[in-house]
A and B are shown apart, each in its own frame.
Chain A
């Protein structure tokens, strides 16, 4: 029991606090730099330690310190208790969802395994989950359950503020998040049909299979339509631009968190960036093969044509490469989200609802039927 707790704490610190939080905070900087690039400005570059400016990265530290020294107050007319607790309701589910995402493959004790059917099968003892926090069997459903709880932070925060902007923002955010939650779920049905599991690590392992002998069976190959639909719906679920109608500054000031200040405000914004990282991780895990590197299995690189071992690599190094590949994919998708954010203008609310209910929802239903027919005919 103590071992379990210690190991879990280690994983939590390593995956969630170190990786996720780090990427989320760096995204706050990258967001500003990206906007500067697109608008032909220089962007943040003033904060410095001594003479080190690190391309403006010091601003992350400066912002965090500044926010810590700001006043945290509750407006007189707000519902005190709910107002104070709402940032937690946004922040905790945002972090909780990372529990079931596998950063790397399960680990075989003593490195004893054979490569069978494009996956490492342990020969001595049970495989150990060192690279994800919780080995929840219904991992994907668990993520959806947690994401669905994320609505409360924004809606209760907006309601408790007792402010007109906040209330409109809160209502909009609830309607938007619930609409896109449905579409997110529906786009993934086709994926579940192909891989036949809701366990995320099993799903990644299945994506190591080769199609026609040389194409890795990543989700983006087997379900290209679902990839675009899911990515769109997931960005909308994070309520970041171009889907940021709930906090549209030109009409709602800051939307549901307009009354928040200092760290409570920072928790809201941080949880939005954390949600972006979650989108990147989910898309990586479901559609981009997670920690998979094409043709790389536990013992090394395989020749896709013959299936023989082409380059032997030590087991531990393979694990490191795989985790590195996962991180690379996640960072690339985070960057892609920033690119989308600064390329597309904000949607109108009716367009947003139309996109979710009238485009993505029917398309994903058709996708399910087509996938079903295709699998049936192929068999």
Chain B
């Protein structure tokens, strides 16, 4: 039963992941189909987490990945509305071949690593042992305790990472006419758009 569901969700995850890379449709519709396939993939991953008794992780996988990050993806697709000619660049180039080879090499490495009994056996033993008390395992309390003790430093570092992302997002997305990161010509153009007049009057004061 358990094995059946594992293989079901695992194969669905692989299938949907493939659908992300090779969407069934070409052209302007491809991005949104890829995104939806990725949402489905995240659900399958969440299901496998749930089967590992990682209940909190399963919920967070849906909450953060399917419910937040993919919303951003779909949002960007909605905002950009790429035309067919902009998405049609699918010719095989040197970078694509290289990245494909790298992916294959990494996969081979991971499989080789996991086939080593020294790695996998302790993990599976641990898993079997933890199945014995599933009531608290993987719950928010257990994970919280680890987060606030053993992984405290990493936890606090996360906030700095998030802060860096906030700053990055603002710097990239917020084009302030007064910003110093911008060429003068663009600044003037933006200023004209905003105020509907020439920027020359402002130059002296700015």
Contact = CB atoms under 8 A, between A and B. Distances in A.
Contact of B78 (A144, A147, A170, A178): A170
Interface stretch (B67-75, B83-91, B121-129, B183-191): B67-75
Contacts of A151: 67, 71
A152 B69 CA distance: 12
Contacts of B75: 155, 171, 174-175
B63 A171 contact: no
A155 B32 CA distance: 11
B139 interface: yes
A141 B78 contact: no
Contact of A149 (B36, B60, B66): B66
Contacts of B67: 144-145, 147-149, 151
A178 B71 contact: yes
Nearest to B1: A1
Nearest to B75: A174
A142 B58 CA distance: 10
A90 B33 CA distance: 18
A221 B195 CA distance: 50
A141 B140 CA distance: 10
Interface in B42-79: 55-56, 59-60, 62-63, 66-68, 71, 74-75, 77-79
Given A159-B78, A171-B79, A141 B71 contact: no
Nearest to B72: A178
Give the size range of A's interface with the partner.
Answer: 20 to 34
A155 B71 contact: yes
B79 A198 contact: no
Interface string A130-153: 000000111001101101110110
Nearest to A141: B59
B46 to A, nearest CB: 9
Interface in B13-58: 29, 32, 36, 39, 55-56
A174 B74 CA distance: 10
B122 to A, nearest CB: 28
A156 interface: yes
Given A144-B63, A171-B79, A138 B74 contact: no
B55 A167 contact: no
A82 interface: yes
Contact of B32 (A145, A158, A159, A174): A159
A159 B68 contact: no
A167 B75 CA distance: 11
A203 to B, nearest CB: 13
A171 B56 contact: no
A151 B78 CA distance: 13
Contacts of A152: 39, 71, 74
Nearest to A182: B68
A138 B62 contact: no
Nearest to A149: B67
Given A79-B29, A170-B78, A138 B71 contact: no
A171 B67 CA distance: 16
Interface in A89-139: 136-138
B59 A138 contact: yes
Interface of A: 79, 82, 136-138, 141-142, 144-145, 147-149, 151-152, 155-156, 158-159, 167, 170-171, 174-175, 178, 198
Across chains A and B, which 10 residue pairs bring their CB atoms closest together, nearest first? A148-B67, A145-B63, A145-B62, A141-B59, A159-B78, A138-B59, A174-B75, A151-B71, A145-B59, A149-B67
25 contacts: A79-B29, A82-B32, A137-B140, A138-B59, A138-B139, A141-B56, A141-B63, A144-B63, A145-B60, A145-B63, A148-B68, A155-B71, A155-B74, A155-B75, A155-B78, A156-B36, A158-B78, A159-B74, A159-B77, A170-B78, A171-B78, A171-B79, A174-B71, A174-B74, A174-B78
Given A138-B56, A151-B67, 10 more contacts: A141-B140, A144-B63, A147-B67, A148-B68, A149-B62, A149-B67, A155-B75, A159-B32, A159-B77, A174-B71
